[in-house]
Amino acid sequence: MAERNLYKLQANICHTLASPKRLEIIDQLRIRELSVTELAEALEISQSNLSQHLAFMRQRVILTARRDGLNVFYSLSNPKIAQACDFMRQVLLEYLETGAELARGESIRKEIEL
């Protein structure tokens, strides 16, 4: 039963990370916390669109927020979140590299047959 709950939590986190813009947010926050204004400028999106993503990620405990006067600063709740994204990115890059190698091999095989 506990294992099933863990799968549900994992699926919830994966769903949260299933947005390119949210992955960009994580990438921006991997080194230091940033304000909403800094994030909006870095990501080239409106603050209202960004705020929706930030709220969604905060509800799922991916991000933490800290208020300083009028500014709200966001940071990753756990640095392992960025590491998990890095691992998945490495898997995808390896997959793409293997696919490119297979495509090159197929191209060479076709040339030999001609």
pLDDT of residue 21: 96
pTM of the shown model:
0.81
- Distance, CA of 33 to CA of 54 (rounded, Å): 13
pLDDT of residue 96: 84
Residues in the chain, pLDDT under 70: 100-114
**Residue range(s) defining the domain that contains residue 72:** 2-113
User: What CATH code is carried by the domain that includes residue 19?
Assistant: 1.10.10.10
Is the distance from CB of 82 to CB of 26 less than 8 angstroms? yes
pLDDT in tens, 50-65: 999 999 999 999 999 9
pLDDT of residue 97: 82
pLDDT of residue 104: 64
3-class DSSP state of 95: helix
Lookup: tokens for 101? 């190698």
pLDDT of residue 108: 54
Is the distance from CB of 34 to CB of 50 less than 8 angstroms? no
pLDDT of residue 1: 79
What's the structural domain count of the chain? 1
